[in-house]
Amino acid sequence: MHRSIRTRLTLAFIFVSLIPLLLVGVVLALQSLNVQSQQALRFQREVSLRVSTQIEAFINRLELQLLTATKSLRGLDPQAQRDFLANLPSYPRVFQAFSIIDANGMEQVKLSRLNITTQADLQNVYATPEFSVPKNSNKPYYSPVRFDTVTGEPSMNIAVPLLNPRTGQVDGVLSANIRFKEIWDLIANVQLTDGESVYVVDAQNKVVAHLNPSVVLRNTLFTIPKDGIFTEGGLDTPAVVIASNQLQFGSQEFNVVAEKNVYIALALAIQTVVITIALLVVAILLASAQGFYVARQLTRPIQALAGAARVLSVNAEQYDPTRLADIVERTDELGQLARVFQKMGSEVKNREESLKQQVKELEIRIDEAKRQREVEAIVETDLFRELQAKATEMRRRYKLLREGTAEFKVPTDTPK
């Protein structure tokens, strides 16, 4: 495909103008996107860590209350133990059920905020982990999260050993069931930005705490991805910046997850990319206009010279040196070329006119020579000689008649 010099120069100017700007724009956009991505990810990690610290402090405070309560429960009768547990600061808002178990695994006292318990409700829990673990390890036990079949609300048991201060042996276990409603409220009080959310996922990938309680109540499952930026994989929005922090309570693992809508988290980087694209579009338009203008300024004299050369090659007589007057006045190389071409064109025109004049003169000479040869050919014939002789005789006789001395004599010969 043929491309003119103007097109090539225009494209060259566009490429020369855009390539540096494009490289700078791409580098700045990528750098801004990378920095914003790192900042957004770091911020989500800080949020998850902050919420994890609050939740850990909250659970540890509950464990400390239970351990403190074990020291006061010794020596009390069952009714006094019930009254003591009912007056704990976290009951019934957080602790919703208590159970005091003796060294044989038999419940001695049972207290619930939802149900009235009697002696018949006491059970032997010797084979359950909430008794055996504290009894054998002398350490607190944390049960897996359970969801209430009626309300759907999650809860967890914390069991701590009852130590005999004289023997150091475990005489029993104090077990408490804690609600996650307080953790929900704790998450709800976290200062979050637009498009951000925080939630807690247990080891079975169940969401046990969320800003929106309905997410928990419908037993939502969520597999936590690695920290990073994903176009799909968020819980609340598909495209997210997500980070998590693990909490360990006994044998139970929890992950506090902080996520944020990626388009909000990377708004500044996206804005930078949009501005860069807009600048590139403007640069393309300016470079195109500038390239077209400069190419036109460079190619217009060349086109004029080409037109003059074409006229000169077809018909030198129509060549007009004044057409190059504007270009001749230039002080650059094109002006110098135009002056040389103007002089050359004038010389070619004059030479061609001179040659044409010479050709005309030569044609005249040739015609005269041709006529001369034809006359000579006629003169040299016998007929022409006879006619010439007769004409001479007639002129002689005519002269004699005029002089009166001629004798009339009829010619005896006739022309053949």
Q: What is the pLDDT of residue 5?
A: 67
Q: What percent of the chain has pLDDT over 90?
A: 37
Helix (DSSP H) and strand (DSSP E) numbers for the chain: 10, 11
CA angle 248-249-252, nearest 5°?
80
Tell me if 257 sits within 8 A of 197, measured CB to CB. Answer: no
Where helices occur in 74-145 by DSSP H, the ranges are 78-86, 129-137
DSSP 230: E
Confidence check: pLDDT of 316 > 90: no
Instruction: Indicate if the alpha-carbon torsion angle 219, 225, 229, 233 is positive or negative.
Output: negative
C-alpha distances in Å from residue 204, one per residue of 146, 200, 207: 11, 11, 9
Q: Tell me the residue type at 274.
A: V
Please state, in angstroms and rounded to a whole number, the distance separating the CA atoms of residues 327 and 303: 11
pLDDT band at residue 215 under the 50/70/90 scheme: very high
CA-to-CA separations, 216 to 18, 71, 254, in angstroms, rounded = 53, 36, 15
What pLDDT does residue 36 have? 87
What pLDDT, in 10s, does the model give residues 67-89? 999 989 988 898 999 999 999 98
Please tell me the predicted confidence (pLDDT) of residue 22: 77
pLDDT for res 413? 52
Residue 319 pLDDT: 67
Say how far apart CA 292 and CA 296 lie, in whole Å: 6
Which conformational region is residue 225 in: left (phi greater than 0), alpha (psi within -120 to 50 degrees), or beta? beta
pLDDT at position 317: 64
Tell me the backbone φ, ψ of residue 229, rounded to 5 degrees.
-115, 130
Q: What is the CATH number of domain 1-313?
A: 3.30.450.20
Please report, for residues 57, 130, 186, the alpha-carbon distance to residue 135 in angstroms, rounded to integers and kept in the order given. 25, 9, 32
CA-atom Rg of the chain in angstroms: 59
Poorest-confidence range of 50-54, 362-366, 409-413? 409-413
Quote the pTM value: 0.68
Per the CB < 8 A criterion, the answer to whether 79 and 304 are in contact is: no
- The whole-number pLDDT of residue 201 equals 96
- How far from 121 is each of 79, 118, 131, 142, 149, CA to CA, in Å? 15, 5, 17, 23, 19
The pLDDT value recorded for residue 405 is 54
d(CA 131, CA 162): 11
